[in-house]
Amino acid sequence: MSSSRSSSSSPRSPAVPPAASRARGGSPVATAAASPSAARTGPAAAPSGEPPVRSAERERSQRAIDAFIEALWIEEGLSRNTQLAYRRDLQLLADWLAAEPGRALDDTREQDLFGYASARHEGGKATSANRRLSVFKRYFRWALRERRLERDPTLKLSAAKQPLRVPKTLHQTQVEALLDAPDVGTAQGLRDRAMLELMYASGLRVTELVTLKSVHVGLREAVLRVTGKGDKERLVPFGEEAHTWLMRYLQEARPQLLSARNTDDLFLSRFGQAMTRETFWRIVKKYAAVAGITSPISPHTLRHAFATHLLNHGADLRAVQLLLGHADLSTTQIYTHVARERLKALHAAHHPRG
């Protein structure tokens, strides 16, 4: 790492201009075997009145799911969390198929999926139903390509209508209070301040933040080399304020946290180990309480704030898309709704005829 710094263009320096590594994803089959309760979710026994799960069909389905997850991991480098989510949705369908019509996944018929949707999704959220449908479509397209079945049973299934979900974000004053909350007189507080500043300055996903290595930081250029979803790499600038706190963390706090250990992980726990998503989530919640923020908050809220505040200050939508690592511009466009609502509120509050 070299030392110097660059300036930024937004309020606290998200400047306008790549999921963790394959090791983070891990082999999907090995991951499932190591954590069966997390990876292969399903009822241990059929509810009263339902036939027991038929083991032969379930075994066939399990082998099919393993092959599908392995293929996705090889082709797309899906993260461990995505692997587990796909496996869970497919396992629940496989268990239902084995218990109800007595079929394996590759024998699924169109009416089976309608029946499953009716049994499982009644009264549920459209977003959850659509997520599951997306997983099923991906699986059956893959199975068709692999000649495991002759016809895609999802062809006539359509997504449920769902309301526009506007991301929850923070006002700039709330962000300032959150960033000022850590006690920077301690090594852990200085680390927390650097992490919060860097997340707000760069808009990283929490996994991208906690898996950063020292070699991923270009201090001279004030740029991060980030590996995002699908193992796609991108360069993300960060501003002067974040640069200052990151330098202080590296010079003053990290050596204390590192102690006698030797690791390239950028952000360390108090035990000198790599920071985890769960620990950083608790850190954000703790400082939100200190800052007097009562609305629900998570690390992703800072990512939302990064995007919204850039747009509020005139950033180009496509530039924000690149910084966030969104593959589709429509994903980024949701933040324009947040910015528009903020402008309407400002107009109503300050215009004489508002």
> What is the Cα–Cα distance from 64 to 143, expressed in whole angstroms?
9
Helix, strand, coil tally for the chain in percent (to 5)? 60, 5, 40
Which helix (H) or strand (E) element contains residue 278? Answer: helix 277-290
Contact 225, 218 (CB under 8 A): yes
Q: Among 231, 222, 188, 226, which Cα is nearest to 205's?
A: 226
> What is the Cα–Cα distance from 282 to 305, expressed in whole angstroms?
19
Q: What is the arrangement of strands in the sheet containing 223-227, beginning at the earlier edge strand?
A: 217-218, 223-227, 233-237
Exactly one of 88, 132, 303, 304 is catalytic; which is it? 303
Exactly one of 58, 216, 229, 309 is catalytic; which is it? 229
> What is the Cα–Cα distance from 335 to 344, expressed in whole angstroms?
14
Exactly one of 300, 313, 337, 342 is catalytic; which is it? 300
State yes or no: is 205 an active-site residue: yes
What Cα–Cα distance (Å) separates residue 334 from each residue in 240, 321, 325?
28, 11, 14
State yes or no: is 300 an active-site residue: yes
Exactly one of 86, 200, 287, 335 is catalytic; which is it? 335
> What is the Cα–Cα distance from 53 to 288, expressed in whole angstroms?
46
> What is the Cα–Cα distance from 204 to 299, expressed in whole angstroms?
9
Terminal Cα-to-Cα distance of the chain (whole angstroms): 52
- Nearby residues of 254 by Cβ (< 8 Å), 6 or more positions away: 191, 268
Exactly one of 40, 58, 80, 205 is catalytic; which is it? 205
State yes or no: is 326 an active-site residue: yes
Q: Among 247, 235, 252, 246, which Cα is nearest to 198's?
A: 246
State yes or no: is 40 an active-site residue: no
Q: What angle do CA 171, 175, 177 make, to 5 degrees?
A: 115
State yes or no: is 229 an active-site residue: yes
> What is the Cα–Cα distance from 255 to 271, expressed in whole angstroms?
12
State yes or no: is 304 an active-site residue: no
- Residues acting as catalytic residues: 205, 229, 300, 303, 326, 335
